[in-house]
Chain A
């Protein structure tokens, strides 16, 4: 049988025409943006075609116009809600990481703490808002605490998994040079938990915003929860939907910002693809 082995010169060795990063950018930016555009175009077309009244469902273009013409108003109230959600988010984060750290280092503490976490998780947090108001009055704290309680459980669950489920071989390797608990914590457990914490963070941004708004429903003179509540009681449909739009916008911007930080910090993680 005659066989022909191609020489090196004959073998085609050219890179593909389409660079990888172009496809990646398309997936990262264009695809989500087109999803949002399609959603609003669909909404706009539906309202125009079906003839549903603005009291039931306004045109998104009208809501957008209302928000832009009252940008100062929404900026002022949006900033209040953003601050409450921000501090609630970080409070939840730090308390969750501290609790998860203790749980990851002690089986006793893990077993003792788990029922309390389940208790908090299964208690409707909204019913605690009046309690916080009794404790802290008309300060931002009831809203911050509500935001923190909403965001706390996903953070603690993910932090615990990340801190505990480290690779057994790597743990043993570190023990083989008598690494201290502190070194194992900082060099192994904390970096290992980062992807878990970022995952939780994306969920918790939304939850912290929900918590802040619920806090504002109960007791506030400002914030987007307040503007929505006032709009509902006075049937100000534009303002009601304007508050919703601005809240959604804040949520999206925060998630995008967090994802950008994640891409930068977790370049090494398989979720970020090859560089």
Chain B
């Protein structure tokens, strides 16, 4: 097990949490969501956040994306504050649900993020590259289909292509496979890895699935129950590119066991 290095790496597209705390004020109660979270995600790194429900994983993602503001501490996305990175379209977000516009075809959905907020000039990748992305993700023959004509797995693949079509170097993914069946998830994971390998982006990935987090990530960050704290950071020593055979390897299973113990430990210590 390796504990996270707390020095901020010299990167331009890394994500850096520095003693970040967050509270949510409800009508009757105040919820302490995150407590003094420090985490550095290096440029081009794939890092997963895992932990019990309500531990603040999605909150961390929204803080990194400038959709929420920390109450204490600071966050940087590359050399920018998250709010600025958001305004400049410097990161792409993949939500839990595909969130496709049903009135747009697959091709038009993939172009959406590039079309919005043209004030900053980032129109995303070219239409040719968008089509190439769709080919890579296995939707080459569905570019003119409407979302209602696609299965849940195909819709989520469109969502992934849409994020990468923005051409951003930081990706924030909020349990994008949680609504899919196991067979579809297995397929889509490798497609995601392939596209990520080509794009070389920095990824912060929220997951509920330990095997999924291990298979995808360079490091798995384990959070404790509410308020969320980083309890362990586990390096996954599987080589890249990853492929299905690795799911039978000792390293893979050892990493799963390590993460599982860490999650148990973090839950027990609440």
Chain A interfacial positions (CB closer than 8 Å to B)? 167, 169-170, 172-180, 183, 187-188, 191, 194, 266-270, 274-275
Chain B interfacial positions (CB closer than 8 Å to A)? 65, 67, 86-87, 89, 91-93, 95-97, 99-104, 112-113, 115-117, 120, 146-149, 166, 172
Residue of A nearest to B116 (CB): A179
Contact A178 B95, beta carbon cutoff 8 Å: no
Given the complex of chains A and B, what is the CA–CA distance between A52 and B138 in angstroms?
70
Ordered by A's residue number, 14 sampled pairs between the chains whose C-beta atoms are within 8 Å are: A169-B97, A172-B67, A176-B92, A177-B89, A177-B117, A178-B117, A178-B120, A183-B116, A268-B103, A268-B104, A269-B102, A269-B103, A269-B148, A275-B146
Nearest 9 pairs between A and B by C-beta? A176-B93, A169-B99, A179-B116, A169-B95, A170-B99, A268-B103, A268-B146, A178-B87, A191-B103
Chain B, interface SS category: loop
Given the complex of chains A and B, what is the CA–CA distance between A169 and B97 in angstroms?
7
Given the complex of chains A and B, what is the CA–CA distance between A269 and B96 in angstroms?
22
Contact A170 B101, beta carbon cutoff 8 Å: yes
Residues of chain B within 8 A of A175, CB atoms compared: 67, 86
Residue of A nearest to B89 (CB): A177
Contact A174 B116, beta carbon cutoff 8 Å: yes
Partner of A169, one of B91, B96, B166: B96
Residues of chain B within 8 A of A176, CB atoms compared: 65, 67, 86, 91-93, 172
Residues of chain A within 8 A of B95, CB atoms compared: 169, 172-173
Partner of B101, one of A172, A177, A187, A266: A187
Summed over the interface, the residue pairs from A and B with CB atoms below 8 Å come to a total of 70
Separation in Å of the A40 CB from the closest CB of chain B? 38
Given the complex of chains A and B, what is the CA–CA distance between A188 and B116 in angstroms?
11
Also in contact, A179 and B148, with CB within 8 A (given A172-B67, A172-B95, A173-B95): no
Contact B89 A178, beta carbon cutoff 8 Å: yes
Also in contact, A274 and B149, with CB within 8 A (given A173-B95, A175-B67, A183-B117): yes
Separation in Å of the A190 CB from the closest CB of chain B? 10
Partner of B99, one of A173, A179, A266, A269: A173
Given the complex of chains A and B, what is the CA–CA distance between A266 and B102 in angstroms?
10
Given the complex of chains A and B, what is the CA–CA distance between A179 and B115 in angstroms?
9
Contact B67 A187, beta carbon cutoff 8 Å: no
Separation in Å of the B149 CB from the closest CB of chain A? 6
Partner of B148, one of A169, A180, A268: A268
Residue of A nearest to B83 (CB): A178
Given the complex of chains A and B, what is the CA–CA distance between A187 and B97 in angstroms?
18
Separation in Å of the A261 CB from the closest CB of chain B? 15
Contact A179 B93, beta carbon cutoff 8 Å: no
Separation in Å of the A89 CB from the closest CB of chain B? 24
Contact A180 B146, beta carbon cutoff 8 Å: no
Contact B148 A274, beta carbon cutoff 8 Å: yes
A sample of 7 more A-B contacts (CB under 8 A), given A178-B87, A274-B149, is: A170-B99, A172-B99, A173-B99, A177-B86, A177-B89, A178-B86, A268-B103
Contact A173 B146, beta carbon cutoff 8 Å: no
Separation in Å of the B85 CB from the closest CB of chain A? 10
Contact B87 A172, beta carbon cutoff 8 Å: no
